[in-house]
Amino acid sequence: MELIEAGLKPPHFMPEDSQDMELEPYAEPLNGFLPMEVCWTGGKKLVPYYDHLAFTYAVEEINNHTELLPNITLRFNLDESGLRPFLISLDEIDVSYENGFPNYRCGITGLLTAVIDGLPSELSLQMSHLFSLYHFPQLHHYLKKVHFKNRLGEEVSFDESGGLANGYDVINTVCLPNRMQRIEFVASYNPYAPPGQDFTINEEIVWATSFIQTPPQSKCSKSCLPGFRKLTREGKPVCCYDCILCPEGEFSNQTDMDSCTRCPEDQWPNKERYSCIPKVRNYLSYEEPLGIALSLISVIIFIIIVVILGIFIYHRDTPIVKANNRDLSYIILVSLMLSCLCPFIFIGHPNEMICVLRQTAFGITFSISLSSILAKTFTVVIAFKATKPGSKLRKWMGSRISSSIVFSCSIVQAVFCLIWLLTSPPFPHLNIQSEIGTILIECKEGSVIAFYCVLGYLGILSGTSFIVAFLARNLPDSFNEAKHITFSMLVFCSVWVSFIPTYLSTKGKYMVAVEIFAILASSTGLLGCIFFPKCYIILIRPERNSRMYLTKN
């Protein structure tokens, strides 16, 4: 059969009358068809006629071409055992023996080169192992270097494994009811054709529909379903392959795909990977638990600040409110209220307006709070120094100096934000690379330098307030805020120092959540360290909030 596959087609060299010769089948017909081997009655012994012609022709071709096996002449011996596997195996063993001794031949000159049988594959494999003990090769061993043209002018060659490298035709011999036979072209295989076109089938063939058995398949692997692709097994024919799942980001929507197709950038394959579906758009929304929790925290802190502001306004004429510049206290509380509203700009679907307002609103409101705290700290120092005889700081007493500090420090931050917006403002961005199967909708900072200038300026204000408050913490004043400001700045700086590495290590909605948490935590720190002690005195210890107590201490 190997020689027939090599392109040696029996119909081209059969006798003229062999197309219509009368056949005597060696087995019962199967639904009107005989197996591939058709035997011709030639005397008392059955001879596989077409196999005989093909084999004889092949040997003649090899012997007539001096470049194939130079200085070597092949002889052959055909033996027929009635297609019985047991008798065939005995005949093959008998070929290699004489007088009970393997490889000992007295009657024939020359060495046994190869044994060709027609057994089923499992028996052929067993015989191969047996003959290998006596160093009888397989035919493939000699076919690796064979290359010639047959009488039709067709190139015939074999690959490294002994397989046919030029392709082959599949033919079928049909036995007709009148005992005539007809040869039909079934299919052809061309290894050099594009994938999917290498194996062509004659569509004009009428296949029998009365077979009970499942018809034999022409490949050793099952078809790969959509979502999988073929992976050819190394050293095996192209019809032998494994089915592997398409890699991430790719899909296949047909059977037996050689490769998978990558989905568009805004889509991702489904779980079975036979089609593409839109990617999930991810951002911090009000509908998810994280967005709801941050919103509730912001509202609670905002209400607390409103209540504290109401307490300060109601007790505005008491010593504890008046002694620490109540106007600056009002400004700090209002700016903290605005900072608690900033998270509502960060939550929701980002757009151009939201991206612009996020960082600028946060930066300006916090600069107002920190500049007011800085003004409070300077007011405490100046008030203590001005009480000394002959001090020149009396002219700096009053609201002008505090208002000037708040305005000048806040306007610097506003200038930074204005330059940022005019040069490279923040903008919405669709991040399709960070997370698998997800599109992150986020705000890019635009100019990273401008973003860190805004944060850095807040750090300068808080650091300056911390240093001045720390130096003035032991000044003799009954309502000295320096200690409370020192703790508040320590909390503020700790929050934002830990914020930067955490912010840079997160992406998408979690990056937004980290910034919201930093805003709320620092606002709560300022509120708790500066205003909670005063509310305690106003509400719980009102005896300390009197002129008599102030004069006594």
For the four alpha carbons of 341, 347, 348 and 352, in that order, the dihedral sign comes to positive
Rounded CA gap, 518 and 189, in Å? Answer: 69
- Are 260 and 229 in contact by the 8 Å Cβ rule? The answer is yes
Residue with tokens 């997370």: 435
Who's near 83: CB < 8 A, 6+ residues apart? 26, 37, 39, 46, 118
- Are 13 and 19 in contact by the 8 Å Cβ rule? The answer is no
Chain centre to alpha carbon of residue 77: 61
pLDDT, position 413: 92
Rounded CA gap, 416 and 496, in Å? Answer: 19
Rounded CA gap, 482 and 475, in Å? Answer: 8
167 phi-psi bin (left φ>0, alpha ψ -120 to 50, beta other): left
CATH class of 289-552: mainly alpha
Using alpha carbons, select from 210, 208, 188, 211 the residue that is nearest to residue 199. Answer: 188
Who's near 406: CB < 8 A, 6+ residues apart? 328, 331, 368, 371, 372, 375
Burial class (CB in 10 A: 0-12, 13-18, 19+), 133: exposed
One digit per residue, pLDDT tens: the chain, 553 residues?
333 333 333 333 333 343 333 333 333 333 333 233 333 333 333 445 656 777 777 778 777 877 777 777 777 776 665 555 555 555 555 555 545 555 555 555 556 666 666 555 556 666 666 666 666 667 555 556 667 676 667 777 766 666 666 777 888 877 778 878 778 888 888 877 777 777 788 877 776 665 555 555 556 778 889 999 988 888 777 778 889 999 888 999 888 888 899 988 888 898 889 889 888 888 888 988 999 999 999 999 999 999 999 999 998 888 888 877 788 889 999 999 999 999 999 998 888 899 989 888 989 999 999 999 888 888 777 766 655 555 555 555 556 778 888 899 999 999 999 999 999 999 988 888 777 778 888 888 888 899 889 989 998 998 888 888 888 777 665 556 778 888 888 888 888 888 888 888 888 888 899 999 999 999 999 999 889 988 998 899 888 877 777 666 5
Who's near 119: CB < 8 A, 6+ residues apart? 85, 88, 89, 127
pLDDT, position 391: 55
Rounded CA gap, 207 and 445, in Å? Answer: 69
Residue with tokens 């087609």: 9
Burial class (CB in 10 A: 0-12, 13-18, 19+), 443: buried
- Are 283 and 509 in contact by the 8 Å Cβ rule? The answer is yes
Rounded CA gap, 551 and 553, in Å? Answer: 5
Identify the three-state secondary structure at position 50: helix
Rounded CA gap, 353 and 421, in Å? Answer: 11
- Are 446 and 425 in contact by the 8 Å Cβ rule? The answer is yes
Burial 259-292 (b: 16+ CB within 10 A, else e): ebeebeeebbbeeebbebeebeebbbeeeeeebe
Rounded CA gap, 298 and 304, in Å? Answer: 10
Using CA atoms, how far residue 197 sits from 184, 205, 218, 221, in Å, is 21, 18, 15, 18
**Radius of gyration, CA atoms only, the chain:** 47
Rounded CA gap, 378 and 382, in Å? Answer: 6
Burial class (CB in 10 A: 0-12, 13-18, 19+), 254: exposed
Rounded CA gap, 376 and 403, in Å? Answer: 10
Chain centre to alpha carbon of residue 496: 35
For the four alpha carbons of 57, 62, 63 and 65, in that order, the dihedral sign comes to positive
Using alpha carbons, select from 222, 219, 232, 237 the residue that is nearest to residue 259. Answer: 232
Who's near 374: CB < 8 A, 6+ residues apart? 405, 409, 461, 464, 465, 468
Which residue ranges make up each domain of the chain?
2-201, 228-278, 289-552
Q: Which two tokens stand for residue 265?
A: 């950038």
Using CA atoms, how far residue 94 sits from 77, 105, 115, 278, in Å, is 12, 11, 11, 70
- Are 335 and 368 in contact by the 8 Å Cβ rule? The answer is yes
Identify the three-state secondary structure at position 522: helix
DSSP readout, 274-333?
A: SSEEEPEEE---SSSHHHHHHHHHHHHHHHHHHHHHHHHHHTTTSHHHHTT-HHHHHHHH
Question: Taking the CB of residue 152, how many other CB atoms lie within 10 A of it?
Answer: 11
Using CA atoms, how far residue 91 sits from 86, 251, 521, in Å, is 9, 54, 94
- Are 460 and 366 in contact by the 8 Å Cβ rule? The answer is no
For the four alpha carbons of 488, 489, 495 and 498, in that order, the dihedral sign comes to negative
Rounded CA gap, 348 and 355, in Å? Answer: 11
pLDDT, position 382: 72
pTM of this structure: 0.57
